[in-house]
């Protein structure tokens, strides 16, 4: 039987392990933490991400855990629209928001008896020589397989060993996320309940409603971004700062922050890879090593494409290795994966960096130029149905 080791049991790793196992690979899934657990936040599944998940597991029931994402438009802090809400054009899957607890539950449910999960394993060594089977080790044990899948995030030990030129750097932002459960959420009028995004001078606030059954409690998901370094203070102090920074912003920004508790808050330093790795696939032995998800192309979350690109990575990998035998055929599939994914991710990273410039705009002249250009920028770079980012289709 073909064997694979997947490093990292986050979204990308769980999706990869399940997809490979359904194609009769024997998979060992290694997780650094003591358990597989979802962060208490949510994410947007743009059309490309939904197509990727459907391709990976058509019976995964993804629609049952995802709530439609209304277009709430883009506002200034005083509430004036910079871009008015509009009806989503075209056919195909609509953008949706999903609580990560529900997504993780679905991905874990997609694993079968071909997957062995080992927790508390921190990879520190990588073996990827032409003459031997690829392997990863934790200093005590080497895990050898035909295929190594590195899904171990932005601080990937596998990527550091194989592509040290890709350096993790700060993006100049700090971010905070939270889910306000339904029983604590403010009662909002329809025009506010749809959510949306608001752009200020170096600040951004995005909110979106979750389905009533999301994580068993429903509610509203929000993300706040501010230019600068991450804050070192305790969560309660950071929440107080957010309430002060956004105090004069239009409803429901203040109401959502008031309903948030310190234990809801998930602070995050926004980081990225600069430059991207020189390759996403490294052929060796009976197959090779591939990078996917944040291990391959970590970027700021301004387009909300990180998870969607990771699912694209997995869908592409699965299509290439589905019937590949260990040896020359699998080695070729590893190289084909590299060629398929690098141009795609490089394009999305470029668009994300353009969006970073939009969010970073500060000063009267810069804000005036940003606001004037936003109407033409948004359809092209925020992942809407007919944009290049969301038009991705799974490989045949």
pLDDT, tens digit (0-9, with 9 covering 90-100), for 222-259:
999 998 888 899 999 999 999 999 999 999 999 999 99
pLDDT, tens digit (0-9, with 9 covering 90-100), for 47-89:
999 999 999 999 888 989 999 999 899 999 999 998 888 776 5
Percent of the chain clearing pLDDT 70 (strictly above)? 91
> Rounded mean pLDDT of 205-234?
92
201-to-204, 363, 378 alpha-carbon distances in Å: 8, 7, 17
384-to-104, 121, 145, 342 alpha-carbon distances in Å: 25, 39, 40, 22
Other Cβ atoms less than 10 A from the Cβ of 178: the count is: 28
Of 63, 289, 271, nearest to 171 by C-alpha is 271
Of 18, 89, 10, nearest to 317 by C-alpha is 18
DSSP-derived letter for residue 339 is: H
> Across all residues in the chain, what is the average pLDDT?
91
Kindly report the pTM of this predicted structure. Answer: 0.93
Least confident of 17-21, 36-40, 190-194: 190-194
Bridge-based pairing state of the strands 220-227 and 196-199? unpaired
Position 383 scores a pLDDT of 39
At 117, list the tokens.
């999960």
Q: Any idea what the Cα angle at residue 293 is, between residues 355 and 217, rounded to 5°?
A: 80
């Amino acid at each position: 039987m073909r064997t694979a080791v997947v490093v990292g049991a986050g979204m990308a790793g769980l999706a990869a392990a399940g997809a490979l196992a359904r194609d009769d690979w024997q998979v060992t899934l290694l997780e650094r933490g003591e358990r597989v657990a979802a962060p208490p936040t949510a994410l947007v599944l743009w059309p490309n991400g939904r197509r990727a998940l459907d391709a990976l597991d058509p019976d995964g029931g993804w629609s049952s855990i995802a709530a439609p994402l209304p277009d709430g438009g883009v506002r200034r802090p005083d509430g004036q629209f910079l871009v008015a809400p509009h009806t989503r054009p075209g056919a195909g899957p609509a953008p949706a928001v999903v609580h990560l607890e529900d997504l993780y539950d679905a991905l874990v449910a997609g694993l079968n008896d071909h997957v062995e999960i080992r927790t508390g394993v921190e990879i520190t060594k990588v073996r990827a020589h032409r003459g031997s089977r690829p392997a990863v080790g934790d200093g005590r044990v080497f895990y050898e397989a035909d295929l190594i899948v590195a899904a171990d995030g932005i601080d990937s030990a596998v990527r550091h060993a194989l592509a040290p030129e890709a350096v993790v750097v700060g993006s100049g932002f700090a971010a905070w996320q939270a889910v306000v459960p339904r029983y604590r959420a403010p009662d909002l009028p329809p025009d506010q309940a749809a959510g949306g995004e608001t752009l200020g001078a170096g600040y951004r606030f995005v909110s979106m409603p979750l389905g009533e059954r999301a994580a068993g409690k429903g509610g509203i998901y929000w993300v706040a971004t501010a230019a600068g370094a991450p804050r070192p203070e305790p969560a309660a102090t950071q929440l107080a700062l957010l309430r002060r920074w956004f105090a004069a912003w239009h409803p429901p920004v203040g109401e959502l922050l008031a309903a948030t508790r310190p234990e809801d808050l998930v602070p995050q330093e926004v980081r990225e890879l600069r430059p991207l790795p020189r390759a996403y696939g490294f052929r060796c032995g009976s197959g090779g090593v591939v990078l996917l998800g944040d291990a391959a192309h970590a970027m700021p979350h301004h387009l909300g494409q990180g998870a969607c690109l990771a699912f694209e990575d997995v869908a592409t990998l699965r299509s290439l290795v589905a019937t590949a035998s260990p040896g020359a055929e699998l080695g070729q599939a590893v190289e084909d994966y590299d060629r398929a994914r690098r141009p795609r991710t490089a394009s999305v990273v470029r668009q994300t960096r353009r969006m970073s410039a939009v969010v970073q705009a500060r000063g009267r002249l810069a804000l005036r130029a940003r606001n004037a250009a936003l109407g033409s920028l948004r359809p092209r770079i925020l992942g809407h149905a007919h944009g290049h980012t969301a038009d991705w289709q799974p490989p045949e």
